[in-house]
Amino acid sequence: FKRTFSVSASEVDKFSKLSPTWWDPDSNPLVKMNPARIARMRNVIEKHYCMHHRHNSADEPIFHGLKALDVGCGGGLLSESLARLGADVTAIDPSREIAEIAQQHAMRDERTSKIK
């Protein structure tokens, strides 16, 4: 049994260097793209999941009860959005620097502070 990894050290280094400006919409185009990405994900999940599962309350977040794993989470753009919609989110990234940025940013909002 041979264990292989698909994580590229050069890619991790490249993204680690972006950590100070990860949440800056002028430096990171993903920040501006994130609302469209979340809208698409929400539409798909509502269509394929919510129609088969009873949504308990109008006050309950739409993703309440769903679990999400964000692999390669970067600064946490997707993770935070999913948490705000009620998902129980676990986020991981191979870059320690970016994972720390994500954790620090998530602590600013009660809805995202429980991201694991």
For residue 87, what are the contacts with CB-CB under 8 A and spacing of at least 6?
A: 63, 64, 66, 67, 68
pLDDT band at 52 (very low <50, low <70, confident <90, very high): low
Choices 3.40.50.150, 3.30.470.10, 1.10.1240.10, 3.40.50.1100: CATH for 9-106: 3.40.50.150
pLDDT band at 61 (very low <50, low <70, confident <90, very high): confident
The whole-number average pLDDT for the span 97-107 is 94
DSSP 55-91: ---TTS-TTTT-EEEEET-TTSHHHHHHHHTT-EEEE
- Please report, for the chain, the start and end positions of each structural domain, with discontinuous segments joined by +: 9-106
CB 79 within 8 A of CB 102: yes
Looking at residue 103, its amino acid is Q
Pairwise CA distance, residues 61 & 83, whole Å: 9
